[in-house]
Amino acid sequence: MILGAILAGGQSRRFGSDKAFADLGGQPMIVRVADALGPFVDGLVVCGHRAPPPGMKSVADVPRTELGPLGGLAGALHYAQRHHYAGVLSVGCDTPILDPDLLSRLGKSERATFVTDAPIIGYWPADLFDALIAHLATDPRRSMRGWIAAIGAVPIALPRPIPNVNTPADLERLLLAPS
């Protein structure tokens, strides 16, 4: 079984408001992400967000807040272990355009695997939880790329970057982009 984890614990400083709930074509971005991820996972959680959309389960960052994406991933891995999921398929709440073929490929991984241009998007075996907690305790940078290097995760290079929304201008470009 695979747990889907939407990492949504950021401060949205560059966006100016909670970007997880920014409107994208009549839906909050986080709902679009959940709809894209849902068919490829057996359960779905939102990590690090105090008020997830109705019907979505919230999981706290582990071991504490303000650890960036790795705190959210640790929360998801901890939840996955406790609920007998084999691994976690993670995406960011600010990546509302996700390729189904990519999600399928990641969901079939057996090893830690990530997207090179968007390392928050990846598959992480649940048994990596203890290693991630140890990494967080010893790496002051708490870098996603540092964690990936530490565990030897498998990279997936894509032909073009996955759209990522960090500012209102990014959202506007996404709204204006041809489908």
Residue 130 annotated as binding site:
no
Residue 19 annotated as binding site:
yes
pLDDT over 60 (residue 11): no
Kindly give the pairing relationship between strand 87-92 and strand 118-125: antiparallel
pLDDT at site 125:
98
- CA 73/CA 156 separation, integer angstroms: 19
* Model pLDDT for residues 12-56, shown as the tens digit of each residue: 566 666 788 888 889 999 999 999 999 999 999 999 877 788 888
Residue 61 annotated as binding site:
yes
pLDDT at site 108:
95
Q: Higher pLDDT residue, 175 or 78?
A: 78
Pair of tokens at residue 15: 């966006």
Residue 137 annotated as binding site:
no
- CA 52/CA 48 separation, integer angstroms: 9
Residues in a beta bridge with 23: 28
- CA 90/CA 35 separation, integer angstroms: 14
Residue 139 annotated as binding site:
no
What domains appear along the chain, each with residue ranges and CATH number?
2-173 (3.90.550.10)
* Model pLDDT for residues 118-177, shown as the tens digit of each residue: 999 999 999 999 999 999 999 888 899 999 999 999 999 998 889 888 888 888 887 776
Residue 94 annotated as binding site:
yes
Q: What is the mean pLDDT of the chain?
A: 90
